[in-house]
Amino acid sequence: MHEKERHRIIQSAVQEKPVVTVQELVDLTSSSEATIRRDIAALHVQKRLRRVRGGAEAITPPQFVGLAGRPFSVNETMHASQKRAIARAAVELCKDGEPIIINGGTTTFQMVHFLTNRRMPIFTNSFPIAEHLLKQSKNTVTLSGGTIYREQNIILSPFDNDVTRNFYARRMFMGAQGLGPLGLMEGDPLLIQAEQKLIDQADELVVLVDSSKFRQRSSLILCGLSRIATVITDEGLEDRDAGMLEAAGVSLVVVPVAQARREESSLPA
């Protein structure tokens, strides 16, 4: 990751939380601790943040505490071609008339390009997914209620009495911060709480992750591998990770990288 991109992520992170630790920034940027400490020192000198013991804080503390994790605008630029092809394979599992849930995320967002000619009831907690489907398709769209988290472009509610409990789906499609032997991982408790409610409303859970997510870890587990019906990923998947899914009885769909690049060059932004 280039220095400018790291600095953008670091500055975004300190605007979302009162204090961000060095380890949190290491996880967000996939960089070394030494690199992050140098970045914090440089941004401190430039008066773009304040260096504190073990991390950094904003010069002007945030009035609203957001979610842990990279912003949507940063994530959507990473592994873009793989995400497009993974999303296309996901939509191939859908049938007209079948209700589905699409969880907010940069990989799941790419599904909208392939849902243009479909006719399906779709529930989502993603404002950009809902907006695109309303403008570019004839699908019936239902949005969850709650607070809009601008950085992640997602709508979340901590309350049980929202519309989530009234929607049934044949399948739920979602991404994740990481995927390992213990299951799906996310980085924020509110995200976990909201996504667990959605998972309970679907017969099958389909996970859309590029192969880099098998090397990512988090301290929070969303659900175990036994809850996942299908994982769709790219051919960067390592044999040991494929074996892990097979042993857990998870169906695996692998999209070739070459196909992913063709999808990126042939589809609109």
The set of residues, in sequence order, having a beta carbon less than 8 Å from that of 140 and lying 6+ positions away, is 120, 121, 122
Over residues 214-230, the mean pLDDT reads: 90
Q: Give CA separation, 144 vs 101, 157, 171, 188, in Å.
A: 11, 8, 17, 18
The whole-number pLDDT of residue 106 equals 87
Claim: this prediction has a pTM higher than 0.75 = no
Give the distance between the most distant pair of CA atoms in the chain: 57
Cα 65 → chain centroid: 19
Show the CA angle centred on residue 96, arms to residues 92 and 99, nearest 5°: 95
30: left (phi over 0), alpha (psi -120 to 50) or beta: left
Pairing of strands 202-208, 147-149: unpaired
Q: Are 124 and 99 in contact (CB under 8 A)?
A: no
The whole-number pLDDT of residue 122 equals 96
From 85, 139, 26, 108, select the one nearest 259 (Cα to Cα).
85
Q: What pLDDT shows up at residue 214? A: 93
Instruction: Tell me the mean pLDDT in the region 238-266.
Output: 83
pLDDT tens across 43-69, in order? 999 999 999 988 998 887 655 455 555
Q: Which of 21-25, 244-248, 250-254 has the lowest mean pLDDT?
A: 21-25
Report the b/e string of 198-213 with b at 16+ CB within 10 A: bbebbebbbbbbbbeb
List, for residues 95-105, the tens digit of each pLDDT value. Answer: 999 999 999 88
What kind and span of H or E run contains 150?
A: none
Residue 44, pLDDT score: 94
135 to 37, 128, 139, 141, 150: CA distances (angstroms): 44, 11, 10, 11, 20
Distances (CA, A) of 35 to 26, 44, 58, 152, 185: 9, 14, 19, 25, 25
